[in-house]
Amino acid sequence: MIALKVNGISRQFNGDPNMPLLWYLRDEIGLTGSKFGCGAALCGTCTVHVGGEAVRGCVTAMSDADGKEVTTIEGLDPDGNHPVQRAWRAENVPQCGYCQAGQIMQAAALLSQNPDPSDQEIIDGMDGNICRCGTYQRIHAAVRTAAKEV
């Protein structure tokens, strides 16, 4: 039995411990904000926090989440008012929006570890989160804006 907390709610999973966390979040408990992209941890659309760290849910096994706190985009701030979410709106970041939950979760993890990152640290910290629409300049600006509030 795998025990974990998802967005503050205690949960148990009695299935395949190798099942990707992303499938559990989306298919088992209906949290569809985290998206499936590449399935190989290369694009970042499935980024969630496990134990406060940004991880790729598509390659994180359920067993890796055992005993840990998992936070999804739905749990970052239920009202959408986390500093990163506010900055995303202020900087008009989304275009198609598909990657944005993963981008936001990666940015939130970056800022929780480094509340005042340099431009290069933002670039490095967001590396691996792909935006097909190419909104990287707005993403960078939003991380910089959110850093002022964290």
pLDDT at res. 95: 93
| Residue range 4-24, pLDDT digits in tens | 999 999 999 999 999 999 999
Query: Do the two domains 2-76 and 83-147 of this chain adopt the same fold?
Result: no
- Mean of the per-residue pLDDT values of the chain: 97
- As a whole number of angstroms, the distance between CA 78 and CA 99 comes to 19
Environment class of 130 (CB within 10 Å of its CB; exposed 0-12, middle 13-18, buried 19+): middle
In this prediction the pTM is 0.97
One CATH from 3.20.20.450, 3.10.20.30, 1.25.40.10, 3.40.920.10 for 2-76: 3.10.20.30
Positive/negative CA dihedral, 11, 12, 17, 18: negative
**What's the pLDDT score for residue 56?**
98
- What would be the CATH architecture of the domain defined by 83-147? Orthogonal Bundle (1.10)
CA angle (133 as vertex; 135, 23 as ends), nearest 5: 105
- Give the residue extent of every domain in the chain: 2-76, 83-147
**Three-state SS string across 31-77, please?**
CCCCCCCCCCCCCCCCEEEECCEEEECCCCEHHHHCCCEEECHHHHC
Predicted confidence at residue 133, as pLDDT, reads: 96
Q: Is the pLDDT of residue 150 over 90?
A: no
Q: For the segment 66-102, what is each residue's pLDDT rounded down to a tens digit?
A: 999 999 999 999 999 999 999 999 999 999 999 999 9
